[in-house]
Amino acid sequence: MALYSEKVMDHFRNPRNVGVIEDADGVGEVGNAKCGDIMKIYLKIKDDKIDDVKFETFGCGSAIASSSMATELIKGQPVSEALKLTNQAVTEALDGLPAHKLHCSVLAEEAIKAAMKDYYDRHGIAYDESQFPAAHDCEHCGV
Amino acid sequence: MRTIYADNAATTRMSQTAIQAMLPYMDQIYGNPSSLHSVGQAAMEALTDARNRVAKALGAANAREITFTSGGSEADNQAIRSAALWGKRKGKTHIISTAFEHHAVLHTLKKLEKEGFTVSYLDVHENGLVTPEQVEAAITPETCLVTIMYANNEIGTIQPIREIGAVCRKAGVLFHTDAVQAVGHIPVNVQEDNIDLLSLSAHKFHGPKGVGVLYAKRGVILSNLIEGGAQERGKRAGTENLPGIMGMTAALEEAVAELPETMPKMAALRDRLIAGLAEIPHGAVNGDLEHRLPGNVSFCFEGIEGESLLLLLDDKGVCASSGSACTSGSLDPSHVLLAIGRPHEVAHGSLRLTLDRDTTEEDVDYIIRAVKDVVEQLRNMSPVWRDLMAGKRQFVIE
């Protein structure tokens, strides 16, 4: 199908880092089943680095590919770098997404950030709130 | 890798009969039917012949009741617009329809609502069926038109058209049916079915794309969507698509003639496919099982999303469709699945497989295995499925 780039199809067909981390240091879940996509990110953090990351996604091809790519981009990175992940970086790494699928990359960024915030909260680490803007409201169902 | 095309409700492969029927009208009988010379008149002769044959195949009383259009959407638009205009002249501005019509009908009705019409959208229930009693109860002295599809394009349910037509006739209300999914798939007879206006599209029964028919019973006055020349008794301007019309006519005759053979064959394969897919836990068939098109299979599976399901099935050579938001091109899942009461999260996990007369038992068994594998694969990475299995989220489909 020409809907997606080869990169997107590769990450969709062979998603990297699928699964669960039972003793995760941080877990983030964004999206809504009503809207058709939910992403859940599990982080294991060691020495201020993303030691391991796993994801589970309910959603379309680009949602699964965006989750997979986002986990690849932060794996092994220092926490400070992982926090800088943007949806544009995910989209570019996937060689682009169709315009109506860009929200999938936004969800991926938000899922990673939600997991990081959860890590800080669980471990009593102080952080700058402005790093974690509230996840955008779903324009569609108002959730 | 084998390709199994199971998306025949979207479009069909053209039959050889239809292709062969079209060819002479491209380079041999290529005239304009409106021309007076012999080349044009040969084309006019073919056009007249096609009109007679289409009328016969539909059980129409007169070939003058057949208007050739560019397809089902145009026929739907013109049928509804014509009936609405007729109603308005008589001070009748109420229309009855259902919530799960094709968008060619629904969007036309929405426009009419903005122009002052009121529309009652009948409930199609969980089984995807309306009753004649519902129609009868909804008719008021202001009602000018009832428009209800013959068979639904997503879930394949067949409405009690003949009985609804009888109710309309008794009440003196025009009755239009979008029969795009029905013609060539089940017996349709405009006179016996009490139909005033009917739309059909050639490419749904192995004919060419870009051509269709609007049947309008004698006495029903059509108004134009397209102004111009005097083609189609002045009701639809534009030089006739003669190759398309000839291909459609051949495809229609072939499909109708083969119904006694294709219907039971396809229904048996459909039921085999439904039985196979019903083995997948927390999945359910959409729509009534009895009043159903012979080739339609529609399911919802919990915990997965339809677009990813389609992409992975495509990798296995199975061409299908879904009513998920991501495949509908909008933010909402299919209005048909919502109309039969499927919640959004379940409607996102829908799969439609539509067979044709060439589908084999081996194809069906292959599809069953492919769907089972892909559903399992997607559920294994779905946080929704994990929550459902852990009891943190309630199953909708037991």
What secondary structure does DSSP assign to B133-173, as a single string?
Answer: HHHHHH--TTEEEEE--SB-TTT-BBP-HHHHHHHHHHHT-
Chain B contacts of A9, Cβ < 8 Å?
A: 311
SS3 B258: helix
Output the six-digit token pair for B362.
Answer: 């081996």
Closest of B41, B11, B42, B12 to residue B24, by C-alpha? B42
CATH topology of domain B16-255: Aspartate Aminotransferase; domain 2 (3.40.640)
**CATH number of the structural domain A6-123:** 3.90.1010.10
Q: Do B381 and A20 touch (CB under 8 A)?
A: no
Contact B359, B268 (CB under 8 A): no
What CA–CA distance (Å, rounded) separates B48 from B50?
5
Contact call for B333 and A36, based on CB within 8 A: yes
Whole-angstrom CA distances from B304 to A117, B77, B197, B299 are 27, 36, 40, 12
| Annotated domain spans of chain A | 6-123
Q: How many CA atoms lie within 13 A of B46 on its CB side?
A: 29
**Of how many residues is chain A composed?**
143
Q: How far apart are CA A56 and CA B213, in angstroms?
A: 49
Q: Chain B: nearest CA to A19, how far in angstroms?
A: 7
**How many whole angstroms from its chain centre is CA B54?**
18
Unique residue bearing structure tokens 């299908």: B320
HSE on the CB side for B128, CA within 13 Å? 27
Identify the segments of chain A with pLDDT beneath 50. 1, 141-143
The pLDDT score that the predictor gives to residue A3 is: 86
Task: Give me the pLDDT at residue A136, please.
Answer: 59
Question: Is the alpha carbon torsion for A100, A102, A103, A107 positive or negative?
Answer: positive
Distances (CA, A) of B106 to B72, B98, B102, B148, B329: 13, 9, 6, 11, 17
Instruction: State the count of interchain CB pairs (< 8 A) between A and B.
Output: 75
Query: In chain B, what are the domain boundaries?
Result: 4-10+260-389, 16-255
Chain B residues at the A interface, defined by Cβ less than 8 Å, are 303-308, 311-312, 314-315, 324-326, 329, 331-333, 343-345, 348, 380-386, 393
Contacting residues of B for A100, CB less than 8 Å apart: 329
- The owner of tokens 């496919």 is B273
Within 10 A of B118 (CB to CB), how many other CB atoms are there?
A: 13
Minimal Cα distance from A18: which residue of B? B381
- Residue A68 is predicted with a pLDDT of 98
Residue of A nearest to B348 (CA): A36
Neighbour tally for A54: CB within 10 Å: 22
User: How many angstroms separate the CA atoms of B92 and B141, rounded?
Assistant: 8
The DSSP code for A63 is: H
Helix ranges restricted to H, chain B = 16-22, 24-27, 38-58, 72-89, 103-114, 132-138, 161-171, 242-277, 306-315, 325-328, 335-339, 344-347, 361-379, 383-389
CA A49 – CA A43 distance, rounded (Å)? 10
ipTM: 0.93
Q: Name the CATH superfamily housing domain B4-10+260-389.
A: Aspartate Aminotransferase, domain 1 (3.90.1150.10)
Q: Check CB contact under 8 Å for B307 and A61.
A: yes
- Please tell me the predicted confidence (pLDDT) of residue B148: 98
Give the per-residue pLDDT at B47.
98
| Closest C-alpha to B317, from B254, B258, B363, B281 | B363
Q: pLDDT value at position B324?
A: 82
Tens-binned pLDDT, residue by residue, of chain B (398 aa): 889 999 999 999 999 999 999 999 999 999 999 999 999 999 999 999 999 999 999 999 999 999 999 999 999 999 999 999 999 999 999 999 999 999 999 999 999 999 999 999 999 999 999 999 999 999 999 999 999 999 999 999 999 999 999 999 999 999 999 999 999 999 999 999 999 999 999 999 999 999 999 999 999 999 999 999 999 999 999 999 999 999 999 999 999 999 999 999 999 999 999 999 999 999 999 999 999 999 999 999 999 999 999 999 999 999 999 988 776 667 789 999 999 999 999 999 999 999 999 999 999 999 999 999 999 999 999 999 999 999 999 999 98
Chain A residues close to B315, C-beta within 8 Å: 13
> Phi, psi (5° rounding) for residue B140?
-125, 170
Measured CA to CA, the distance from residue B128 to residue B110 in angstroms comes to 21
- Residue B41 DSSP symbol: H
SS3 content of chain B, % helix, strand, coil (to 5): 45, 15, 40
Whether B300 sits among the annotated catalytic residues: the reply is no
Answer whether B374's CB lies under 8 Å from B294's CB. no
Residue of B nearest to A12 (CA): B308
Kindly report whether the global pTM for this prediction surpasses the value 0.90: yes
Distance of CA B367 to the CA centre of its chain: 23
